[in-house]
C-alpha cells in the first residue's frame, strides 16, 4: 500500500481524513512513493486551535529554556542529517551532497535560534525626563504560519519555525505538497527534542489550505517562500486580512564578469551556480553578463558546463538531479525552444537528455545560450532549470543598467580583480544580496536573507535579527517612581 503522509496536529501524527489526495512521485522514475491528503477544514481548525491554546503556556516558558530546546533540536538534526537527506533524495531527487547541504543550512538557523536570549533584548534609556526611564521588551505575536516551496524542503521550513518558536510563538507549517515527507521527519525530531504539544503543527495540502491560513483570524503572521505570482497573492491577501506577511519570491540572478577576473574561478563558479541543483535554486545564477574581453570566455564556460551530467542520487558521479515534475520539465524545455525561436544562440542544448536506466526521469541537460537580450522570454522568465543565458556588454555601467532594470532583486555577483569595480557594483546595484567573487552569496543566519524588489514582498526578512523583529512586537514602557514613596521603615519596624 502507498504510504500516507500524516498531519502533525496537537502533538500527534494523525492519519488524514481528507479525500483529496496528491501523489508524491520519485522524479527520476515517476513511481508514486506516497500520497498526501489535503487537510480538511476541521483538521485545519483543530491545528490552529491547538496552536492557539499552546501559545498561552509557551509564551511563559523562560527564554533560556526555549534556547535549550533549540540546542537539543540542532543536535538531533545533526545526528539525523543523513536520514533527512535520504528522504530529500527520494522525493526531490537532489544529489546526496546537495540534500545534506539543504539540511545543514537549516541546522545553522536552528543554532542561531538558540541565541534567542540575546536576540530578544530590548532597549533602555534612563532619565528620558527627570526621574523617568523608558525601556522596551520584545514579546511574541501568537500563532504564526509558514508556507514553503519544494526546492529546499528542509532549509526553508527551518528558516521559519525555529526562529518563530524561539521567540515564544506557536507555528502552523504548510509544506510543499510536492515533497512533504521531509518536514514530517523534522517535526518528529522537534518532538524528540522536547517541544511541548501544540507548539508546532504540520498541515499538508495546497491552495485551499493556504487560503484557510490567509483568512483565519487567529493567525497573526505569515512567512511564505515560493513563486512570484503566489507570493504576490499571499502578500496581498494576507495584508488585506490585516496580517503581518513576509513573502520571498522568484528570482533572476545575474553574475557580472569583468575582463580582469580570474578566468578559472569564473568558470568553476558558473558551472555550480547555474546548473547545480538542476537550476532549482532561487539564488541560482541564470544570467552571466560578460563585460568587454571577458566575452571571449563564453565557449570555455559552455564547454565546462557541458561536462556536467544529471543523474540519480544513488550515482556518485551525478552532478544534479531531475526537475521536480514532468510539468516543470516541459516548461523548461518549452522555454529553451522559445529561446531558439527568439534568436538566442543555443551553444549547449540539454533538451534531449537521457539518463541510462531512468527513461522516465524529468531530466534536462545543461543548457547555455549566448546573444541573449532583455526582450527574450528566456531572459524575462525565471526558468528554474539548468539553463544559463549569457550576454555581452561593453562596460560595467551597461552591466549595472541591465541588472538594475530587472524586476527581480534576490542575488547577484561580480567577478573582478578590481576593488574599485567591486565597490562601485556593491554600492550601485539594486539587489539585496551581493557576492564579490562569490557566485551564490546566501548570508549565514546571523545576517538575514535580504532579497529586494520583485523577489521579496514585506519589510522584515528571514532569519537573523530581522526574523526576530518579524515574529515579535515591541512593548515600550515609560516608568516613574517617586522618591517620596521610598519607605525607610516597614510595617514590622518600630
Ligand atoms: P509555488 O509558489 O508553486 O509553491 C509554494 C507554496 O505555495 C507551496 O506550499 C504551494 O502549495 C503553495 N501554493 C501554490 N500555488 C498556490 C496558490 N495558487 N495559492 C496559494 N498557495 C499556493 O513555488 P514552488 O514551485 O514550490 O517553488 C519554486 C519557487 O520558489 C521559485 O520561484 C523560487 O525562486 C522560489 N523560491 C524563492 C526563494 C527566496 O528566498 N526568494 C527561496 C526558494 C524558492
Q: Is the CB of 147 under 6 A from ligand 1?
A: yes
282 annotated active-site: yes
pTM comes to 0.97
All residues at 6 or more sequence positions from 240 whose CB lies less than 8 Å from its CB, including other chains: none
Is pLDDT at 258 greater than 70 in this prediction?
Answer: yes
CA–CA separation, 372 and 477 (whole Å):
57
Q: Is the CB of 206 under 6 A from ligand 1?
A: yes
Is pLDDT at 386 greater than 80 in this prediction?
Answer: yes
Average pLDDT rounded to a whole number, residues 340-347: 98
Nearest protein Cα to ligand 1, atom 21: 207
What HEC string does 203-224 produce?
Answer: CCCCHHHHHHHHHCCCEEEEEE
Q: Is the CB of 250 under 6 A from ligand 1?
A: yes
| More reliable by pLDDT, 50 or 490 | 50
Asked if residue 351 lies in contact with residue 333, where contact means CB atoms within 8 angstroms, the answer is: yes
Nearest protein Cα to ligand 1, atom 36: 226
Span 168-212, pLDDT tens digits: 999 999 999 999 999 999 999 999 999 999 999 999 999 999 999
Q: Is the CB of 151 under 6 A from ligand 1?
A: yes
Q: Is the CB of 280 under 6 A from ligand 1?
A: no
Span 52-106, pLDDT tens digits: 999 999 999 999 999 999 999 999 999 999 999 999 999 999 999 999 999 999 9
If you ran DSSP here, which 8-state letter would residue 296 be given? G
- Structure confidence at residue 484 as a pLDDT band (50, 70, 90): confident
User: What is the whole-number distance in angstroms between the Cα of residue 478 and the centre of ligand 1?
Assistant: 43
Asked if residue 388 lies in contact with residue 372, where contact means CB atoms within 8 angstroms, the answer is: no
User: What is the whole-number distance in angstroms between the Cα of residue 435 and the centre of ligand 1?
Assistant: 24
CA–CA separation, 204 and 174 (whole Å):
6
User: What is the whole-number distance in angstroms between the Cα of residue 383 and the centre of ligand 1?
Assistant: 14
Q: Take residue 358 and report the three cell numbers written for it.
A: 531512468
Is pLDDT at 1 greater than 80 in this prediction?
Answer: no
Q: Take residue 422 and report the three cell numbers written for it.
A: 567591486
If you ran DSSP here, which 8-state letter would residue 361 be given? S
% of residues, the chain, pLDDT over 70: 99
Question: Based on C-alpha coordinates, what's the Rg of the chain?
Answer: 25
For the CA of 150, the nearest atom of ligand 1: 26
SS3 content of the chain, % helix, strand, coil (to 5): 40, 25, 35
CA–CA separation, 322 and 489 (whole Å):
79
Q: What backbone phi and psi angles, to 5 degrees, belong to 487? A: -95, 135
Asked if residue 421 lies in contact with residue 414, where contact means CB atoms within 8 angstroms, the answer is: yes
Q: Is the CB of 388 under 6 A from ligand 1?
A: no
* pLDDT value at residue 487: 87
For the CA of 226, the nearest atom of ligand 1: 30
Q: Is the CB of 278 under 6 A from ligand 1?
A: no
Q: Take residue 309 and report the three cell numbers written for it.
A: 551530467
Average pLDDT rounded to a whole number, residues 483-494: 77
CA angle 316, 317, 323 (to 5 degrees): 90
Q: Is the CB of 323 under 6 A from ligand 1?
A: no
User: What is the whole-number distance in angstroms between the Cα of residue 176 and the centre of ligand 1?
Assistant: 8
Q: Is the CB of 202 under 6 A from ligand 1?
A: no
Span 23-35, pLDDT tens digits: 999 999 999 999 9
Nearest protein Cα to ligand 1, atom 43: 282
In the chain the domains, ranked by start, together with CATH numbers, are: 3-250+451-478 (3.40.605.10), 253-407+411-436 (3.40.309.10)
- Cell 541543483 -> residue: 277
Q: Take residue 101 and report the three cell numbers written for it.
A: 547541504
First to last CA, the chain: 83
Q: Is the CB of 92 under 6 A from ligand 1?
A: no
Span 289-327, pLDDT tens digits: 999 999 999 999 999 999 999 999 999 999 999 999 999
For the CA of 449, the nearest atom of ligand 1: 40
Helix (H) or strand (E) holding 84: helix 81-92
Residue 260's closest CA among 435, 437, 418? 418
All residues at 6 or more sequence positions from 265 whose CB lies less than 8 Å from its CB, including other chains: 415, 437
If you ran DSSP here, which 8-state letter would residue 310 be given? B
Residue in 149, 236, 384 to alter for ligand 1 test, most ligand atoms within 8 A of Cβ: 149
Is pLDDT at 494 greater than 60 in this prediction?
Answer: no
Give the 3-state secondary structure of residue 137: strand
Catalytic-labelled residue, pool 38, 144, 167, 282: 282
CA–CA separation, 85 and 99 (whole Å):
5
User: What is the whole-number distance in angstroms between the Cα of residue 149 and the centre of ligand 1?
Assistant: 4
User: What is the whole-number distance in angstroms between the Cα of residue 155 and the centre of ligand 1?
Assistant: 14
CA–CA separation, 187 and 202 (whole Å):
8
What is the value of ipTM here, to two decimals?
Answer: 0.98
Asked if residue 178 lies in contact with residue 184, where contact means CB atoms within 8 angstroms, the answer is: no
Residue 175's closest CA among 268, 383, 36, 379? 36
CA–CA separation, 183 and 302 (whole Å):
37
* pLDDT value at residue 493: 62
Asked if residue 460 lies in contact with residue 479, where contact means CB atoms within 8 angstroms, the answer is: no
Q: What backbone phi and psi angles, to 5 degrees, belong to 108? A: -60, -35
- The β-bridge relationship of strands 21-25 and 32-37 is antiparallel
CA–CA separation, 102 and 153 (whole Å):
8
User: What is the whole-number distance in angstroms between the Cα of residue 353 and the centre of ligand 1?
Assistant: 26
* pLDDT value at residue 203: 98
Q: Is the CB of 223 under 6 A from ligand 1?
A: no
Other C-beta atoms lying within 10 Å of the C-beta of residue 417: 13
For the CA of 382, the nearest atom of ligand 1: 32
User: What is the whole-number distance in angstroms between the Cα of residue 234 and the centre of ligand 1?
Assistant: 10
- Cell 527568439 -> residue: 342
Q: Take residue 20 and report the three cell numbers written for it.
A: 483529496
Amino acid at each position: 500500500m502507498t504510504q500516507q503522509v500524516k498531519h502533525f496536529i496537537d502533538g500527534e501524527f494523525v492519519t488524514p481524513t481528507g479525500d483529496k489526495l496528491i501523489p508524491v512521485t520519485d522524479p527520476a522514475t515517476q513511481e508514486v512513493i506516497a500520497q498526501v491528503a489535503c487537510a480538511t477544514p476541521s483538521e485545519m481548525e483543530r491545528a490552529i486551535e491547538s496552536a492557539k491554546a499552546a501559545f498561552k503556556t509557551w509564551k511563559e516558558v523562560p527564554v533560556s529554556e526555549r534556547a535549550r530546546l533549540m540546542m537539543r533540536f540542532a543536535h538531533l538534526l545533526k545526528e539525523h542529517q543523513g536520514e533527512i537527506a535520504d528522504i530529500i533524495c527520494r522525493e526531490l531527487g537532489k544529489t546526496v551532497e546537495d540534500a545534506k547541504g539543504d539540511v545543514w543550512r537549516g541546522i545553522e538557523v536552528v543554532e542561531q535560534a538558540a541565541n534567542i536570549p540575546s536576540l530578544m533584548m530590548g532597549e533602555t534609556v534612563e532619565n528620558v525626563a527627570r526621574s523617568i526611564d523608558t525601556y522596551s521588551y520584545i514579546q511574541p505575536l501568537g500563532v504564526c504560519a509558514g508556507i514553503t516551496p519544494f526546492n529546499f524542503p528542509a532549509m526553508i521550513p527551518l528558516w521559519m519555525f525555529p526562529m518563530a518558536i524561539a521567540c515564544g510563538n506557536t507555528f502552523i507549517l504548510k509544506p510543499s505538497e510536492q515533497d512533504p515527507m521531509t518536514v514530517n521527519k523534522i517535526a518528529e525530531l522537534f518532538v524528540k527534542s522536547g517541544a511541548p504539544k501544540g507548539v508546532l503543527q504540520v498541515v499538508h495540502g495546497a491552495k485551499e489550505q493556504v487560503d484557510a491560513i490567509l483568512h483565519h483570524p487567529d493567525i497573526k503572521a505569515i512567512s511564505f517562500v515560493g513563486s512570484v505570482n503566489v507570493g504576490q497573492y499571499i502578500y496581498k491577501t494576507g495584508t488585506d486580512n490585516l496580517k503581518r506577511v513576509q513573502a520571498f519570491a522568484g528570482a533572476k540572478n545575474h553574475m557580472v564578469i569583468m575582463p580582469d577576473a580570474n578566468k578559472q574561478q569564473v568558470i568553476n563558479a558558473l558551472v555550480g551556480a547555474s546548473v547545480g541543483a538542476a537550476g532549482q535554486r532561487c539564488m541560482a545564477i541564470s544570467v552571466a553578463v560578460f563585460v568587454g574581453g571577458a566575452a571571449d570566455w563564453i565557449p570555455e564556460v559552455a564547454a565546462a558546463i557541458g561536462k556536467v551530467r544529471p543523474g540519480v542520487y544513488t550515482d556518485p558521479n551525478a552532478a544534479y538531479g531531475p526537475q521536480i515534475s514532468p510539468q516543470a520539465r516541459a516548461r523548461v524545455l518549452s522555454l529553451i525552444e522559445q529561446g531558439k525561436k527568439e534568436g538566442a544562440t543555443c551553444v549547449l542544448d540539454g533538451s534531449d537528455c537521457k539518463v541510462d536506466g531512468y527513461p522516465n526521469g524529468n531530466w534536462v541537460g545543461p543548457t547555455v545560450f549566448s546573444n541573449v537580450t532583455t526582450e527574450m522570454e528566456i531572459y524575462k522568465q525565471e526558468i528554474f532549470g539548468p539553463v544559463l543565458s549569457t550576454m555581452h556588454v561593453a562596460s560595467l555601467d551597461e552591466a549595472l543598467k541591465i541588472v538594475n532594470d530587472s524586476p527581480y532583486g534576490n542575488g547577484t555577483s561580480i567577478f573582478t580583480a578590481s576593488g574599485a569595480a567591486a565597490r562601485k557594483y556593491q554600492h550601485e546595484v539594486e539587489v539585496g544580496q551581493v557576492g564579490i567573487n562569490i557566485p551564490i552569496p546566501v548570508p549565514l543566519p546571523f545576517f538575514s536573507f535580504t532579497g529586494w524588489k520583485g523577489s521579496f514582498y514585506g519589510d522584515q526578512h528571514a532569519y537573523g535579527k530581522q526574523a526576530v523583529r518579524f515574529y515579535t512586537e515591541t512593548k515600550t514602557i515609560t516608568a516613574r517612581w517617586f522618591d517620596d514613596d521610598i519607605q525607610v521603615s516597614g510595617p514590622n519596624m518600630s
